[in-house]
Amino acid sequence: MSGRAQLMWDEAVTGYDFGPSHPMDPVRLDLTRRLVGAFGLDRELAVVAAKPAGESTLRLVHREDYIDAVKAASADPAGAHGEYGLGTVDDPAFAGMHEVSALIAGQSVGAAEAVWRGDVEHAVNFAGGLHHAMPGGASGFCIYNDAALAIARLLELGAERVAYVDVDVHHGDGVQAAFWEDPRVLTVSLHEHPSTLFPQTGWPQETGAGAGEGSAVNVALPAGTGDAGWVRAFHAVVPELLAEFRPQVIVSQHGADTHFEDPLAHLAVSLDAQRAVQVACHELAHEYADGKWIALGGGGYAVVDVVPRSWTHLVGIAAGRPVAPEELIPEGWRQEVFARTRQLGPQRMTDGRWPVEYGTWESGYDPADRIDQAVLATRRAVFPLRGLLP
């Protein structure tokens, strides 16, 4: 049911590199692209390199003074000392930072254009999903917010209802901020609770403002949430909202840092649950958005064991040739992993937890359960604002 798809890829995106001691190692992008190739998925869809986002596109979301600061830091990294969040521990300045950040943004914008025009139904940019970048500053390993830029471009092209679904372990704060007062964009973020994780926002009570009141949705899950709770929370919130909002296009962000092996966060989700939610996003796009689906990467710091497998599943789903969880990983890729990282790569496309079983919200909830409490807090805060029962 999913014929035409494209993968956005330009090898130069691996130049998005904050240096050897930074957790966002670009080897994760390179290994993902190679695993996609090892499964032959790159023959199932078009592999396309879009041009970098230009100044006028960047300005759809970002302030001009911030763009100027990124360019200055990019030309003279030693001169960045924390202004606009640049030259910090999280976002060190590096030579060529503006160019590669604009290139990643351009892949997401190009994905949005292709899907909106109807050239393809689905487009994937796993180098994107840099959801923390703010209109006026860098944050959380993110310089330009390619997700917000893709959405802004859709609006510029005439879209009236865009749904953004963010399942990264961190709150999608930059995208929420960009469309805080805009009723045309419904942002939904499922993440670890702000009391235990960066960026300390994403409380259920954050619901948007002005004309956008009720267009921001936040599900704050307790540390330790596992597969059944995470998938249950997704299904207890997202489908009903999309049925009501009737998006013309869905942009989803698939940060792989919800995984139990991720070193920077505290959810306990497996690759199999990540895959289940990717499948659900794909189905929701067909059910509610005429198949129009832009899927992005995001966080993910278990760069050998988790990220390549998670986003290879995402590409397979978009390509209409999903990789079965039990499939063995081609030996050539594992040799490449060892050569590049001196680590042993995983052997299968599963963590052994497929299929993911979970109880549906409709079959009842337990007010004493912490995950159900989180879901209830979200539904009570925002569902009535959208005319839905909490």
Phi-psi map region of 43: left, alpha, beta (phi>0 left; psi -120 to 50 alpha): alpha
Q: Tell me which residue has its CB nearest to Zn ion.
A: 299
Cis preceding-peptide flag for 199 (omega within 30 of 0): yes
Contact 212, 179 (CB under 8 A): yes
Site string for Zn ion, 227-266 (x = CB under 5 A): ----------------------------x-x---------
Contact 115, 249 (CB under 8 A): yes
Residue 193 or 292 with smaller CB distance to Zn ion: 193
We find the least distance from the C-beta atom of residue 181 to Zn ion, in angstroms, to be 25
- 257, amino acid identity: D
Residue 28 or 170 with smaller CB distance to Zn ion: 170
Q: Is residue 91 at the binding interface for Zn ion, with CB under 5 A as the rule? A: no
Q: What are phi and psi of 149, to 5 degrees?
A: -65, -40
Catalytic hit among 122, 132, 191, 259: 132
Q: Which residues contact 369 (CB under 8 A, 6 or more apart)?
A: none
Q: Is 170 a catalytic residue?
A: no
We find the least distance from the C-beta atom of residue 121 to Zn ion, in angstroms, to be 27
Dig out the tokens for 108 from the structure: 């997401």
- Name residues contacting Zn ion, limited to 148-187 (CB under 5 A): 168, 170
Residue 204 or 299 with smaller CB distance to Zn ion: 299
Site string for Zn ion, 43-82 (x = CB under 5 A): ----------------------------------------
Q: Which parts of the chain fold into alpha helices (H)?
A: 27-38, 55-58, 64-75, 97-117, 146-156, 173-178, 227-245, 271-288, 307-319, 331-341, 370-382
We find the least distance from the C-beta atom of residue 192 to Zn ion, in angstroms, to be 9
Q: How far is CA 270 from CA 47, 64, 128, 281, in A?
A: 28, 41, 21, 17
Distance CA 318, CA 248 (A): 18
Binding Zn ion by CB under 5 A: which of 229, 299, 316, 345? Answer: 299
Q: How many residues bind Zn ion (CB under 5 A)?
A: 5
Residue 122 or 132 with smaller CB distance to Zn ion: 132
Contact 246, 291 (CB under 8 A): no
Q: Which residues are catalytically annotated?
A: 132
Residues that bind Zn ion (CB under 5 A): 168, 170, 255, 257, 299
